[in-house]
Amino acid sequence: MLSSLEIAMSSNEQQEDGVILGTRKSELAMKQTQMVLALLKECYPSLVISIEGITTTGDKILDIALSKIGEKSLFTKELEVALQEKRVDLVVHSLKDLPTTLPDGMILGAVLEREDPRDAVVMSLSNAGLTLETLPKGSVVGTSSVRRSAQLKRKYPHLSYKDIRGNLNTRLKKLDAPDSEYSCILLAYAGLHRLGWDSRISQILNSDILLHAVSQGAIGIESRQGDLKIQKLLQPLVHFETLVRVTAERSFMRNLEGGCSVPLGVFTTLTLSNETSTLDLSGSVTSLDGSRHLQEKLQVSWSNSEPDNQKLDLAEKLGLDLSLKLIDLGATDILNELKGL
């Protein structure tokens, strides 16, 4: 983090040069980018900042399930091309969309403080007051995530799970349509909350019901490696506790070669004391039909006096160790099942 003096100096350095933020065009993506813009303006009041909306492959292909498209960069590729070509200076992502291995020349420049990472249920108006447990047998649950459907099939086998695509606005319209086939839909709490749609949340799913997606609830900012001006600009935005948690989660996913279309779930907690910190990481791999579910938990502790880079190294190793533990239990066989479809 920069001192107030360093921030003031950086602000003066940036007065003459504007900064362009790249993002997807969805309402949520724009909202999150405006949050980043507001934080930057708070640190650098005289900085000229603009936003460039870009359409990604994932935004264009809405009639195919994410797990069947076969790409890991569905919501990031076009943004990274713009960054590489210097049409934008940085890119704002929902971090769960950002692959764990970045293209050459790109780095994760900052991670903002995380919102509640849990998943939420939005019921149709006709099912107001119900929960997943109390929905009638055969009720259709809409989700674009094989992670959600795979885990929930174990808990609620009486329900039917069907793919639903589109941004949050589109999915809510499909749910609310008079002829809707969906009894409810599953969405990340963070997105609903950031858009001010808390009143639509019927149920928040705790980790004993559903492990959330890697990095869910966190906003990541991608920048060019070697662009020291932008890296310095982003330093005050880094939330280290969030960075530690998502570092472990992304390491877990990276070693399992997972993406947003793979049934991996995680849950992390970082417990702080005066002298030490303890990071707990739970991770799971679930077969598509929910019949096989592997879940384990590991933890690591460190002295608060250790350098930040060493803490991040320990978080990275925690994710790797947990992935190896699940591989020993048969996780690779479950993931190969999806690759074969």
Residues carrying an active site annotation? 97
Residue type for position 194: R
> Taking a C-beta distance cutoff of 8 angstroms, is the pair 216, 49 a contact?
no
> Taking a C-beta distance cutoff of 8 angstroms, is the pair 294, 330 a contact?
yes
The pair of structure tokens assigned to 306 is 């250790």
CA distance 189 to 12: 38
Per the rule left: phi > 0, alpha: psi between -120 and 50, beta: everything else, 158 is alpha
CA distance 112 to 219: 5
User: Residue 39 phi/psi, 5° resolution?
Assistant: -65, -40
- List C-alpha distances in Å: 7 to 17, 123, 185, 238, 313: 16, 45, 43, 14, 27
Cα first-last separation, the chain: 46
CA distance 335 to 288: 9
Task: Kindly give, in sequence order, each residue whose CB lies less than 8 Å from that of residue 196, ignoring residues fewer than 6 positions away.
Answer: none
Residue 121 exposure: Cα atoms within 13 Å on the Cβ side: 27
Task: Kindly give, in sequence order, each residue whose CB lies less than 8 Å from that of residue 332, ignoring residues fewer than 6 positions away.
Answer: none
Q: 3-state class of 283 per DSSP?
A: strand
- Per-residue DSSP letters for 32-77? HHHHHHHHHHHH-TT--EEEEEE--HHHH--SS-HHHH--S-TTTH
The pair of structure tokens assigned to 296 is 């384990």
